[in-house]
Structure 1
Amino acid sequence: MKNKSVLFTNMLVNMGIGLIMPITTLYIHGTLHKSLVTAGYVLFCFSGAMMVGNLIGGKLFDSWQQKPLMFYSGSGVVLALVFLGLFPQWPIYPILITLYGLCLGGLNSSINGYIAFLQVSDPNIFNNGYWFASLGMGLATFLSGILFGISIRVVFFSSAILFLLTTLLIKFAFHTIKKTTVEKNPIATKGAVRAWPSILLVCLVMIIVWICYEQWNSNVSVLMIAKHISVPKYSFLFTISTIEVILVQPFMNRLFKPSFRSEKSRIILGLLAFALSYVSIINTGAYWRYVLGITLVTLGEMLALIAIPALLNRYATDRNRGTIQSLGSFSGSMGRALGPLFGGFLITHFNYDWTFLAMFLIHLFLILPVLTLKTKQEK
């Protein structure tokens, strides 16, 4: 397997994120004694800062130096986490968690831009990166509750250590990528301009998928409890999802060879899997239906959400790879930020069943514009 240091870095970043995010609302509401509305605002500020960091990081990646950008973004994350560990009190907590989101957004988009360059010589790096990220996230979400039971300071300091290891790997194991200047000719520039409608369409798909996906992280838990299914059973769904990713993902590289047509097919199949996941939990109190739903969601994630950054990279040039990857990261962050609000609005004004039916239809509708996507050469 190529680029092991980059893949391991991706795993460490996701472990660092996975330690903090599952206990954020619990800490704000249960320990700091703030309302759930306040917790929602804090998470929204975190997501908003991360989106800004995504865009700034992507732009700087293309116009500045890659390694210093990743190193300074990672160092900013470490400092924010150290201060959170030292001062996990209100009102400094929301300020520091927002700063953490800003630096994390810059780090994520710059690492994704770096991976996009490596894909030229390592076509499976996005697939392999997703596998390592899922492994890291699975380990971290398992440890998060245990460490939180000891102290919130232990959570923040543990995450800081993971990001410190990340910055050290970037400093000593990453190499500077030399960009080509072929894209300066008028024909290539014209092709790049014509690619933007396709890029924006793919980003729109990413936003909508994540808006719907976030229901599994928020509103589905409330529904399952209302159906007298326990919280541990709800949490176990994500354990099932992680196990499925670890076991199944390696076979995806064999089933789908890297190409534009293959990545486009993966997005379409992924959208279909996402759509069916919402149908599977309409009007049911049976736990196996939720297991089926999370399995379909995981399948959709392995198909579509990995293919999207790889497909976006096919529209990029060496002059804008970071920017285009940052748009993908920005879209995912926006969808995650809007998801609970959008889902809560629909559920409040209609009900769970109509909301999930709408999400099923939305995913089917998205397949139609994805079918129209073409490569730069076909335009």
Structure 2
Amino acid sequence: MQKQGLGLRWLLVGSLITNTGISFIWPLTTIYMHEYLHETLTAAGIVLFINSVVMIFGNYVGGALFDRWQPYRTILLGISINVVSAIALTFFHGWPSYAILLIILSFGNGIVGTSINAFATLVTSRRTSFVFNVLYFMSNLGLVIGTLVVGVILPFGIEYIFAFASLLFVIFWFVAFFRFNVATDKKRRKNKQNVTRLNAATRNRILSLLAVFIVSWIAYEQWQSNISTFMVHHGMTVQDYTFVWTFNAIVIVVFQPVLTIFDNWLFQHIRTRLNAGFLLFGLSFVVLIFAHDYWQFLLAMGILTLGEILAFPGVSTYVDSAVLEDQRGKYQGIVNAGASFGRAVGPLIGAQIIERTSYHALFVSSILGLLIFLIGFNIFSQIRSRDQDNQAGEK
């Protein structure tokens, strides 16, 4: 029997569980393939790239099924794929079964990620912007918990990691089975006479915003890959680099909840929020250009993280507010696919720029890319604003 609305707490519980389970598996990919399976780093990189591409496909499929099939069955399908592949990994984690099952898990995770974002638009008790803010906090909290627990479980054997992840996915399946079967009543209705014009007008705004979003993820991925080497070149240790990510988690845990206090203002000034977030992204790379001491790298990460918590949930909020009821799944899938694409190509693009030029050229390229596409987004937004003003004048 369908419920009238999805409870926010169950969506947050689901996000926490699935992100904790996923964080048991993904961070170990390179280390496990290289140290345990004795495959090359290149092979590990290829597997990770394929995983990202497959996740993009999963994001798209998840969005399409959410809109055209049924949200409830879509998320159960995605979780079921995760459960089956994680259980299989518990028993078959040699080569090449590990890589094959990981790719299947990627597809399921793509469906689940898009479904969770799309279900966020169905929560009736809170504004969608509030839901995306808290959802982003819970997903990061799950990643922090997962990476901390992995270090405790891994010495007992890799199979225990996969078994524990399987257990978490099973728990999420039951949560979704009992709590996610909700009616998809419209929370927001559009004037049908303006559907064609509205879709045409919003397309450029959404695409220009997604371009900024993808560039920001490409820049963000430099911290995951190439900046670690840059820090070592400046005399810092691997432990120093790992603490940078601990600092990232601390900033998110401290400041993300603060945004919920100002949710009304942030929603009413969504463009200001997005501009501030992406400009902070660019500013963090300005700091990196001049960084030599460890505190400067921490400062750059702190600025980047503040930009992240402003911009990333803001993108989902902006897109949801712009599209029609029956397009929510599709466009949340596109948002997730944009993030997956940035994660896939980011390390490769960064490595190519560094090898052909320098780290500083990479940082400057990141700044210029963000600014150029951010200007494009604001231009399209201004065009839309003028159109609305003209229509109001005519009336």
Matches of 1:217 and 1:138, distance apart in 2: 15
TM-score, normalised by the number of residues in structure 1: 0.94
Q: Is the 8 A contact 1:279 1:356 kept in 2?
A: yes
Moved more, 259-268 or 94-103: 259-268
2:21 pairs with 1:37: no
Structure 2 residue aligned with 1:225: 232
With over 3 angstroms needed to count, the CA separation of the structure-2 counterparts of 1:336 and 1:244, relative to structure 1, is same
2:117 pairs with 1:128: no
Which one-letter code corresponds to 1:177 in the other structure?
A
Compute the displacement of 1:326 (Å): 0.3
Q: Is the 8 A contact 1:268 1:370 kept in 2?
A: no
What is the aligned counterpart of 2:164 among 139, 158, 167?
A: 158
What is the aligned counterpart of 2:325 among 297, 318, 323?
A: 318
Matches of 2:265 and 2:120, distance apart in 1: 15
Q: Is the 8 A contact 1:14 1:137 kept in 2?
A: yes
- Give deviations 1:284-336, integer Å, cap 9, x for gaps: 33110110011011101111011000000011111110001000000000000
Moved more, 256-265 or 220-229: 256-265
2:191 pairs with 1:175: no
With over 3 angstroms needed to count, the CA separation of the structure-2 counterparts of 1:291 and 1:320, relative to structure 1, is same
Compute the displacement of 1:190 (Å): 3.0
Structure 1 residue aligned with 2:21: 16
Matches of 1:249 and 1:91, distance apart in 2: 40
With over 3 angstroms needed to count, the CA separation of the structure-2 counterparts of 1:244 and 1:93, relative to structure 1, is same
Map 1:198-277 onto structure 2 (within 5 A): 198-257=205-264, 261-277=268-284
Which one-letter code corresponds to 1:130 in the other structure?
Y
2:199 pairs with 1:192: yes
Structure 1 residue aligned with 2:59: 54
Which one-letter code corresponds to 1:6 in the other structure?
L
2:322 pairs with 1:340: no
TM-score, normalised by the number of residues in structure 2: 0.91
Q: Where does the alignment leave 5 or more consecutive residues of structure 1 unmatched?
A: none
Matches of 2:125 and 2:192, distance apart in 1: 20
Q: Is the 8 A contact 2:280 2:304 kept in 1?
A: yes
Moved more, 234-243 or 185-194: 185-194
With over 3 angstroms needed to count, the CA separation of the structure-2 counterparts of 1:120 and 1:324, relative to structure 1, is farther
Q: Secondary structure at the match of 2:181?
A: coil
Which one-letter code corresponds to 2:141 in the other structure?
L
Structure 1 residue aligned with 2:302: 295
Q: Is the 8 A contact 2:211 2:373 kept in 1?
A: no
Q: Is the 8 A contact 1:117 1:321 kept in 2?
A: no
Matches of 2:165 and 2:144, distance apart in 1: 14
Compute the displacement of 1:182 (Å): 5.5
What is the aligned counterpart of 1:63 among 52, 63, 68?
A: 68
Q: Is the 8 A contact 1:119 1:125 kept in 2?
A: no
Q: Secondary structure at the match of 1:280?
A: helix
Q: Where does the alignment leave 5 or more consecutive residues of structure 2 unmatched?
A: 1-6
What is the aligned counterpart of 1:93 among 78, 93, 98?
A: 98
Q: Is the 8 A contact 2:208 2:373 kept in 1?
A: no
Q: Is the 8 A contact 1:47 1:333 kept in 2?
A: yes
Matches of 2:180 and 2:238, distance apart in 1: 42
With over 3 angstroms needed to count, the CA separation of the structure-2 counterparts of 1:243 and 1:228, relative to structure 1, is same
